[in-house]
């Protein structure tokens, strides 16, 4: 098993961002965000003019680099690495190339990845240089095998799992363990919840069934499309849907704007939409005073798990450009996310709700384990 610690990266971030090495580079390593909602390794190239101050990869500095297969790709991103939602999906223009990728001493030779000469605007000022997708291995042989699965297939990892220890507002101590579980990082026992196997396989994402939502112990109600009743009629419970667990998203996302409005009306009328892209919030002191405890029942049948967002994690912090206004946990998409196999509502469960847990991700056996994360002995507190 291999540990990847965020050492030497002293700033508060929402997701684990740790060093990665390509080929035989002599310059400092790139830092990447580990993203369970995607599969590709995405990095900026030397000639990128929209990549801000990111470390740019220069193929000439690596003796193991190959421009093969040289296929041009356009990647779409609907969320960024910050809590600010994106109004419209942004794109990265890239070329699929090959090099040796190293993580904590493990090496994936001949690893294909996307080298980009144009980055989305949303990536310009974020702490990461790139993204390392940790999604489920694609079903098609024509698709790029994610780096994690290349390492597992080569026998360098004893188990097909990786585990996250994410800390709210902590500068140091977040951990990603490849190929195993760090039992010192959680309390009690791990509870495993099965993925929706069909949708997870189709999307290469960690997708679960979402059964219900409770706000301070009361069922969340809606008049919208995602009820068991008639649109615009008497409020009813949200009908069951789908939830994608995504470490690369720094908020929770409802299926549509109406769902967000209904949830916030049940919490406080002071919470309003603060950004046309879908963010909601209120004056910081008010948001703290009305913050609820949210419970989301995930899983299927008898194997449900109550995923809890504690009230102290409901406030995501002051919203950029709006002094004194803080962002609430749920954002809404500008365009509804489509269920590829039907018409179920699709929710995104990002890092805020995952921070309270030690999580074990098993994309081979299609399940995710949850346990309450231990609090670090010393940490810098914050959102």
Active site residues: 35, 246
Cis before residue 180, ω within 30 degrees of 0?
A: no
- Compute the 3-state secondary structure of the chain and give helix, strand, coil in percent, each to the nearest 5: 15, 40, 45
Q: Report how far residue 316's alpha carbon sits from residue 73's, in angstroms, rounded to the nearest whole number.
A: 34
Query: What kind and span of H or E run contains 183?
Result: none
Question: Angle at the Cα of 200 (from 340 to 315), degrees rounded to 5?
Answer: 90
Those residues whose C-beta lies under 8 Å from the C-beta of residue 231, and which sit 6 or more positions away, are 223, 224, 225
Q: What is the DSSP letter of 222?
A: E
- Residue found by looking up tokens 């699929």 in the block: 96
Strand order in the sheet with 2-5: 2-5, 175-178, 161-165, 357-362, 367-373, 186-194
| Coil vs helix vs strand at 287 | helix
- Residue found by looking up tokens 């995923």 in the block: 307
Alpha-helix runs per DSSP H in 159-308: 197-203, 257-267, 284-290
Which residues face 348 on adjacent strands?
Answer: 244, 253
Alpha-helix runs per DSSP H in the chain: 147-153, 197-203, 257-267, 284-290, 351-354
CB burial of 352-365 (b: ≥16 within 10 Å; e: otherwise) equals bbbbbbbbbbbbee
Those residues whose C-beta lies under 8 Å from the C-beta of residue 224, and which sit 6 or more positions away, are 231, 256, 258, 259, 262
């Amino acid at each position: 098993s291999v540990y990847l610690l965020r050492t030497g990266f002293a700033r508060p971030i929402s997701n684990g961002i740790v060093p990665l090495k390509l080929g035989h580079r002599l310059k400092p390593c790139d830092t990447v965000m580990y993203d369970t909602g995607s599969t590709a390794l995405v990095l900026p190239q030397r000639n990128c003019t929209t990549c801000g101050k990111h470390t740019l990869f220069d193929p000439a500095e690596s003796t193991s680099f190959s421009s093969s297969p040289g296929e041009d790709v356009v990647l779409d991103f609907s969320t960024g690495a910050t809590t600010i939602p994106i109004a419209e999906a942004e794109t990265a223009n890239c070329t699929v190339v090959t090099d040796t990728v190293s993580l904590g001493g493990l090496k994936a030779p001949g690893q294909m990845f996307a080298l980009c000469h144009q980055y989305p605007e949303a990536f310009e000022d974020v702490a990461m240089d790139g993204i390392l997708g940790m999604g489920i291995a694609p079903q098609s042989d024509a698709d790029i095998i994610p780096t994690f699965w290349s390492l597992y297939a080569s026998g360098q990892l004893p188990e097909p799992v990786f585990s996250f220890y994410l800390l709210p507002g902590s500068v140091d101590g977040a951990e990603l363990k490849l190929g195993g579980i760090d039992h010192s990082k959680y309390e009690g026992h791990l509870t495993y919840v099965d993925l929706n196997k069909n949708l997870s396989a189709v999307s290469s994402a960690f997708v679960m069934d979402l059964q219900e939502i409770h706000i301070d112990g009361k069922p969340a109600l809606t008049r919208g499309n995602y009820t068991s009743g008639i649109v615009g009629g008497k409020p009813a419970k949200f009908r069951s849907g789908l939830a994608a667990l995504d470490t690369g998203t720094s908020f929770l996302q409802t299926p549509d704007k109406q769902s967000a409005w209904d949830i916030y009306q049940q919490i406080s009328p002071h919470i309003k939409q603060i950004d046309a892209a879908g963010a909601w919030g209120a004056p910081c002191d008010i948001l703290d005073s009305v913050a609820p405890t949210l419970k989301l029942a995930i899983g299927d049948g008898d194997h449900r798990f109550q995923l809890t967002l504690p009230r102290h994690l409901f406030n995501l912090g002051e919203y950029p450009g709006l002094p004194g206004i803080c962002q609430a946990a749920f954002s809404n998409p500008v365009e509804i996310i489509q269920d590829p196999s039907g018409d179920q509502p699709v929710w995104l469960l990002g890092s805020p709700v995952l921070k309270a847990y030690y999580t074990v991700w098993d994309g081979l056996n299609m399940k995710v384990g949850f346990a309450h994360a231990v609090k670090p002995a010393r940490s810098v507190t914050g959102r």
